[in-house]
Chain A
């Protein structure tokens, strides 16, 4: 009781967040030892990261030629002839398709959670629980889901409506459309969480000002809140893309092919994929020693793609957090 009332009366002025971060030199040997141990552990993790990346860059760099990234098709196990353009186009195409499906749904869900939902209602809690759970479902289960739901239920359903019996299946078979939809379900939580974070960072006063000037709630959201939240929505999109670009398990049964002579032409075509090719080259190669340079170059292309996206996302997010702190 006493402490509570004193808390109420004492309103300290805003202080430098580093206040109290006293840089006291510790003399206690145990403290020094353990601080050292935790520091070493931290740097060890970073060393592991550097070793993995360094190894891939060192061995992959040689094989990374203009010919490699601009050739389509060619025997996938022939170091001289195999090209990565089909892989790059296939991966990009499935990821772009996925973005088209996931961004609207993810952003609208985040808008509902931050702007409309009452914070502790049962429905809100269930939606949040579902989002968290979706984030934790193993990727191979998404593969099974894609096969059971998208390919056999939806695709097979379309086929039984449009095709005469005995005709070759068109929709009810692995294809880029089903792979993208499966990935969209998988990355939905990433988009929701990132968008929500950016919506929450917008000061409440901005909304109140808009409402006070006579704007409706919808107008406030569309014209005031969303433009402000755009960097966050972009981050969410980029993060979901980089997550999806390297995912292989959901594609195993939903549409990845290890060899195609050209690009996918229709939504019902299969596609070649960087991550899937890494798996094929590492495990199914007739001669692993000979195809190793090819494998390393493919891994490097995949890493460059995902890391470029990740680094952009990290920068946008760091800027956003700084802005948020400045606004509060």
Chain B
């Protein structure tokens, strides 16, 4: 007769433990579901199964309306589900007749036969009739919907670059000051104060950039368009300062105090100890902070939606209006047809964004983990 162990001894304990384990798996499940459900909508485009060319569209005979599934009808007529329920059969029939006529009269020239959601058009420049050279165009309105994603990526990167150039030096300097140089009492005030910046909702920063900062910066620098990558980038910088600050401050603080004490004992000043001993030891943490700041900036929506001007212009100037990936999704999704090409295009942008931030997080996570175990002497 041995001692009973495991689930036989205490069934309640055993069940509770299993339930707790199951619930804690929900974080994994959610990451998986997010990827699954965002990527799912964009699969037809990724695998090139969609055709958006105007000339390829087949007209639906208005007389055979009842034979066609309603989802198909909605996509065909560019109607939202709301509109579908509101219109009666008479109206739908009328719309079908108009559409059939439109298709009969559709242009069959070179532009109209282009499948604008194939990868060639998504990332390559194309010379549309009327342009004198190949161009990258995101223009999901009008006769031919152009879905080139290059202007959006350039827009996102421009705003993010400005944000990093503005926020990283400031936050890193502040992190060095707060963790190494400031008196303990000053530290107790400064740290929460900077962290409070994280409490400002991004829509408020966007509002501030749009209403106050845009005019102020335009007066100072005298550029032409009031809303541009520069304004949006500075406002984005506000949003990532707390991220970069907290993580680099954490990394600097986790460097053992004995490092500083040894340097001070050898006669260095506090600044020299911070700059030449502590910072080099914590540099992977600073790198991780920058990577996370990048991920945060490229994924931020409201600030860029409100302050970037939203013009999809490809140019080298930071003072031109830009349209970012996030702002495009936010501004356009409400007007798309459920399941249509434009709708799926925006989900494709979301999938790409998810992939970029996923990699950024993974890299930062790995670097911080390695740094911590090294400083704790485990490696």
Contacts and interface: CB of A to CB of B under 8 A. Distances in A.
Interface stretch (A39-47, A64-72, A77-85, A197-205): A39-47
A89 interface: no
A45 B194 contact: yes
Interface stretch (A19-27, A92-100, A260-268): A19-27
B329 A46 contact: no
A138 B357 contact: yes
B37 A153 contact: yes
Given A22-B264, A26-B270, A140-B301, A218 B202 contact: no
Nearest to B307: A282
A310 interface: yes
Interface string B8-49: 001011001100110111111011011001101100000000
Contacts of B271: 26, 28, 30-32, 34-35
A136 B196 contact: no
A30 B16 CA distance: 61
- Which of A28, A133, A278 gathers most chain B CB within 10 Å? A133
Contacts of B16: 218
A112 interface: yes
Contact of A109 (B24, B211, B272): B24
Chain A: number of interface residues, binned into ranges: 35 or more
B200 A303 contact: yes
Interface of B: 10, 12-13, 16-17, 20-21, 23-28, 30-31, 33-34, 37-38, 40-41, 81-82, 85, 169-171, 173-174, 176-178, 181-184, 190, 192-197, 199-208, 210-212, 238, 241, 245, 257, 260-261, 264, 269-272, 275, 292, 295-296, 298-302, 305-306, 326, 329-330, 333-334, 338, 346-347, 350, 353-354, 357-358, 360-362, 365
Given A44-B170, A45-B194, A46-B190, A112 B21 contact: yes
- Which of B200, B208, B298 gathers most chain A CB within 10 Å? B200
Interface string A288-328: 00001001000100110011001000100010000000000
Contacts of B25: 127
Given A45-B194, A52-B200, A144 B38 contact: yes
Label chain A's interface by main secondary structure.
Answer: helix
Nearest to A49: B197
A318 B299 CA distance: 30
Contacts of B181: 35, 38-39
Interface string A176-220: 000000000100110010000000000000000000000011100
B354 A141 contact: yes
A39 B204 contact: no
B178 A56 contact: no
- Which of A42, A132, A149, A246 gathers most chain B CB within 10 Å? A42
A212 to B, nearest CB: 17
Contacts of A134: 27, 30-31
A292 B211 CA distance: 9
Contact of B203 (A133, A143, A248, A253): A248
A145 interface: yes
B34 A142 contact: yes
A149 to B, nearest CB: 4
A143 B299 CA distance: 12
A45 B38 contact: no
A137 B42 CA distance: 18
B361 A132 contact: yes
Given A41-B170, A52-B208, A137-B357, 6 more contacts: A49-B197, A111-B20, A148-B347, A169-B81, A279-B305, A282-B206
Contact of A126 (B28, B169, B210, B211): B28
Nearest to B169: A41
Contacts of A248: 201-203, 301-302
Interface string A259-286: 0000000000000000110110011000
Given A148-B37, A282-B211, A252 B195 contact: no
